[in-house]
Structure 1
């Protein structure tokens, strides 16, 4: 599957002008927040989360609930909302000195818009406007130091979504939506070439019985990141 991307076709940086030390991406329920928090503690770096810790009644969560109930009505506005939030986080990171962790990249944001559009839940005009906004933002930011892509099956993701019990998303997210999302993520990851990238298989449980990230996961991830840590992340 070819992934025709705003990033791939229009945004060329060459990797020489970097900012965010680490960005983490993957489908909903992959384990991005768990990995991000572990890395934040291990590397003493601030983390910028996709969903802020402001409760189940936050604006973002309310909008997500509306989207899952009526995707065609809310898809465009919610995509712009999350895109704007990511852009603000990146500008804050650059102002802080370019050292931080993001638990979803601004580049991965496009995958959601493409998937929704392909499913007929976003109009062609809405998708064009979204891509224009994204392209304008990408012209004003630097590329990451490294991208971590969390690889999980749809069934694993659904299990984690239901386990975490975030609002009503476990009942509202359609399985076929996650299947489409994963297909587009795989194509996007293969095409992504703005910075080094790491694929992390997290189909097995990330956490041990004590609720702490398993030692094997910690060792493998930090080992994979070692070349970038030596460069001063």
Structure 2
């Protein structure tokens, strides 16, 4: 864990720079990031930039995810670069337009996936280093977010939500041990994260009702967390 925290410090060299007025949400697959993002977007009247631009099964992102889950060591590097590039474009647009926005994945947490895949032997050392060089070059050209919201959820709950949303083949192909590795690395990353205010939101079973709506307690907790950084 200490090694991971030390490596993370390189990501935080822009601490103290101007903010880009973005609220970023992070957490493992199936945590509920989009649910929280949509709630904040509605409450604040600001745009939501989603990791998957189109949930359709024929979208490029979904096709690439299906390929990755089927043969991770073949597709891991290119899919990481694809998502990283999409997040960078979103952040540049937000900064260019000068408007507040919410993103359902943090560019700062992007490395968690690459690191986890690399540790599992599904990305070569050279591929991981090339990815990290690209990430750090991008981070030198963006501002830091207003606040990070970390969605804390158990692997069991996340896996159940993945199966329920029936997004292409992911419910049948995501290995549980991969999710456990992601969860472990996310916890280390969140503890080391220090470039902006951060808040942890418990998002297990009682956070969302059967209709997919946030509980009043969780909704209140989220609004209280972001209140100092946005106009409510």
Q: TM-score range by the shorter chain?
A: over 0.9
Residues 28 and 209 (structure 1), Cα distance of their counterparts in 2 relative to 1, 3 Å cut: closer
Q: Deviations over 1:101-125 (max 9, x none)?
A: 0000001100000000000000000
Question: For 1:144, what is the secondary structure of its paired residue?
Answer: coil
Deviation, structure 1 residue 212: 2.5
TM-score w.r.t. length of structure 1: 0.95
Q: Distance in 2 between matches of 1:19 and 1:112?
A: 24
Q: Distance in 1 between matches of 2:167 and 2:21?
A: 27
Question: For 1:147, what is the secondary structure of its paired residue?
Answer: strand
1:123 corresponds to 2:124: yes
Q: Distance in 2 between matches of 1:10 and 1:200?
A: 23
Deviation, structure 1 residue 11: 4.1
Q: Which runs of 5+ in 1 are unaligned?
A: none
How many correspondences in the alignment?
231
Residues 37 and 10 (structure 1), Cα distance of their counterparts in 2 relative to 1, 3 Å cut: closer
Question: For 1:66, what is the secondary structure of its paired residue?
Answer: helix
Residues 102 and 34 (structure 1), Cα distance of their counterparts in 2 relative to 1, 3 Å cut: same
Equivalent residue, structure 2, for 1:172 = 173
Q: Distance in 2 between matches of 1:22 and 1:53?
A: 21
TM-score w.r.t. length of structure 2: 0.95
Equivalent residue, structure 2, for 1:77 = 78
Note if contact 2:5-2:188 (Cα within 8 Å) is conserved in structure 1: no
What is the CA RMSD across the aligned residues, in angstroms? 1.5
Question: For 1:141, what is the secondary structure of its paired residue?
Answer: coil
Residues 211 and 158 (structure 1), Cα distance of their counterparts in 2 relative to 1, 3 Å cut: closer
Equivalent residue, structure 1, for 2:91 = 90
Q: Distance in 2 between matches of 1:5 and 1:102?
A: 26
Q: Deviations over 1:203-232 (max 9, x none)?
A: 124332444322111111111222222xx5
Q: Deviations over 1:14-45 (max 9, x none)?
A: 33311043000000000000000000000111
Q: Distance in 2 between matches of 1:10 and 1:162?
A: 33
